[in-house]
Amino acid sequence: MRFIIITGLSGAGKSQTIKILEDLGFFCVDNMPPALLPKFTELCSQTNNKIENVALVIDIRGGKLFNDLLYILSAIKEQGFTYEILYLEALDEVLVKRFKETRRIHPLSPEGRIITGIEKEREILENIRNRANYIIDTSNLTTRQLREQITSIFLEGKNYEGVIIEVMSFGFKYGIPTDSDLVFDVRFIPNPFYVETLKKLTGKDKLVEDYVLQWDETTEFINKSFDMLEFLIPNYIKEGKCQLVISVGCTGGKHRSVTIAEQLSKLLGKKGHRIIVEHRDIEKDKE
């Protein structure tokens, strides 16, 4: 039985995530009090495999009961019960915007500023975040992209022993992705933005791709970066890392970074790695 505990910051997408997992065939429970976990896991184990996949949302809505979560998780682990933790987070400004749009109050700051509740929650959740198997930053994810990540991790990758690799292109002028494990700066490559016929295209267009890949330094960069990743990935797996975010940045995230991210994704995919590709800033303003 696969047993997933979903937790993380309020407003980061836990409700959406559990709906996605429910669609994927998981037995789901929202806002489970941690004190009920031992009894619940015992009941699940007595179903003779009738329940194969379980997902529970456990978060600070449980109030003081949430404080017992780490202790209870350690206890059921000692009893031989295995579980995985999925932690969802987002940037402060994104969370504040989501609360304002939905006119919700933060559970830790019912009469105060939203940002105060977010800061308190980050502090409370720090230890559980450090124990998470998977961390997803939903700041820039659409519902479709979140579904793709959840599906890759918990459905398609359920028998996969290794690491889920997300290759993300981005623009430095919009900020480095906060969940990056590795960041590559490709602003040294000649910029297609300054070629009039390429300016309005993206790195996914053949004309831009050909322009970016024609330079010797581009080829050398891709080869050396790929060699380094092939060295690092097995060592990350050995260390127990389950998710790796490789961010490739240029000025605006529309041309060079997109082409390089696509090329690295193809090379890594040919080696059998599970790849998710995202172009964070491709639809934003031109470089």
Does the pLDDT value for residue 173 go beyond 50?
A: yes
Task: Yes or no: say if 190 and 235 are a contact pair by the CB < 8 Å rule.
Answer: no
Does the pLDDT value for residue 203 go beyond 50?
A: yes
SS3 184: strand
Mean pLDDT over 89-97 rounds to 93
Phi and psi angles of residue 61, each rounded to the nearest 5 degrees, phi first? -65, -20
Does the pLDDT value for residue 213 go beyond 90?
A: yes
Structure confidence at residue 142 as a pLDDT band (50, 70, 90): confident
Quote the pLDDT of residue 156: 60
Structure confidence at residue 158 as a pLDDT band (50, 70, 90): very low
Does the pLDDT value for residue 144 go beyond 50?
A: yes
Domains of the chain: 2-156 (3.40.50.300), 164-279 (no CATH)
Does the pLDDT value for residue 115 go beyond 90?
A: yes
Quote the pLDDT of residue 17: 95
> CB under 8 Å to 51, separation ≥6 — which residues?
1, 27, 44
Does the pLDDT value for residue 56 go beyond 90?
A: yes
Rounded distance between C-alpha atoms, residue 45 and residue 170, angstroms: 44
Mean pLDDT over 170-184 rounds to 93
Of the segments 55-64, 214-223, 275-284, which one has the largest average pLDDT value?
214-223
* Host H or E run for residue 193: none
- pLDDT top residue among 235 and 48: 235
Task: Yes or no: say if 255 and 192 are a contact pair by the CB < 8 Å rule.
Answer: yes
Rounded distance between C-alpha atoms, residue 169 and residue 258, angstroms: 5
Quote the pLDDT of residue 10: 95
Phi and psi angles of residue 253, each rounded to the nearest 5 degrees, phi first? 75, 25
Q: How far is CA 54 from the centre of its chain?
A: 20
Task: Yes or no: say if 133 and 257 are a contact pair by the CB < 8 Å rule.
Answer: no
Structure confidence at residue 78 as a pLDDT band (50, 70, 90): confident
Rounded distance between C-alpha atoms, residue 92 and residue 119, angstroms: 8
Quote the pLDDT of residue 160: 42
Task: Yes or no: say if 127 and 70 are a contact pair by the CB < 8 Å rule.
Answer: yes
β-bridge mates for residue 167, sequence order: 246, 277
The percentage of the chain sitting over the pLDDT mark of 70, rounded to a whole number, equals 95
Does the pLDDT value for residue 220 go beyond 90?
A: yes
Q: Considering just the CA atoms, what is the radius of gyration of the chain in Å?
A: 21
Nearest to residue 150, comparing CAs of 21, 255, 273, 252?
21
Task: Yes or no: say if 210 and 261 are a contact pair by the CB < 8 Å rule.
Answer: no
Quote the pLDDT of residue 229: 96
Does the pLDDT value for residue 286 go beyond 70?
A: no
Q: Rounded to the nearest 5 degrees, what angle is found at the Cα of 99, between the Cα atoms of 29 and 132?
A: 45
β-bridge mates for residue 121, sequence order: none
